Copies of this chain bind each other. A is one copy, B any other.
């Protein structure tokens, strides 16, 4: 299995976490963003978005971090990380969707903007407002549960973890989200 990565990507970090948790042997292909290796015709053929992560495995090419998590969970994770019964699978999917929408265009966006001084989808304040929708949903869930979906860790937790863990780099303090802080500690205790 080839895993295309760059150093600072939280989206690729999701995949790194699950590869570690499931102990999946793989080869890392590190792309050089400065050389725009993520925008070559060859790479755009693998992923039309021109982004990491991408996985190549046994003839399959998977782009998008959520799709990579689904692939690895179904192939190597048994039923724990992504169950296939309708209600539990949908519960996990809710958090994959939140990671792809409000977390991506809120927390990830604000972090990238602050790091790169580049604003392509609104101001920092707008990014923070979107972030707070995501953080509110997490805090509400975690008020009565230990994990985002079901009663054990799933790829829903893995998908939401990276950009919530780096919330301070997005300019957001988590002091008013005590349940999220406790959940981050539980995630880290999984030792990936």
Of B49, B68, B136, which one neighbours A133 at CB under 8 angstroms?
Answer: B49
One digit per residue, 1 when the CB lies within 8 angstroms of any chain B CB and 0 when it does not, for chain A 55-66 equals 000101011111
One digit per residue, 1 when the CB lies within 8 angstroms of any chain B CB and 0 when it does not, for chain A 75-97 equals 10000000011110111011011
Is A67 on the interface with B (CB-CB < 8 A)?
yes
Compute how far the CA of A153 lies from the CA of B90 in the bound complex, rounded to whole angstroms. Answer: 20
Of B71, B90, B104, B122, which one neighbours A62 at CB under 8 angstroms?
Answer: B90
Compute how far the CA of A184 lies from the CA of B90 in the bound complex, rounded to whole angstroms. Answer: 26
Please report the total number of A residues contacting B with Cβ < 8 Å. Answer: 46
How many monomers of this chain does the complex have? 2
> B71 to A136, Cβ gap below 8 A?
no
Is A18 on the interface with B (CB-CB < 8 A)?
no
Which chain B residue has the least Cβ–Cβ distance from A90? Answer: B71
Which chain B positions have C-beta within 8 A of A96? 66, 93, 96-97
Is A168 on the interface with B (CB-CB < 8 A)?
no
Which chain B residue has the least Cβ–Cβ distance from A74? Answer: B86
One digit per residue, 1 when the CB lies within 8 angstroms of any chain B CB and 0 when it does not, for chain A 134-159 equals 00110011000000000000000000
- 4 new A-B contacts, CB < 8 A, other than A48-B137, A100-B101, are A75-B86, A96-B96, A105-B105, A105-B121
Complex A-B, nearest 3 residue pairs according to Cβ-Cβ distance, in ascending order: A122-B122, A71-B90, A48-B137
Complex A-B: 16 CB contacts under 8 Å? A48-B136, A48-B137, A49-B102, A49-B137, A60-B87, A62-B87, A62-B94, A67-B91, A70-B89, A71-B87, A74-B86, A74-B90, A75-B86, A93-B96, A96-B96, A101-B104
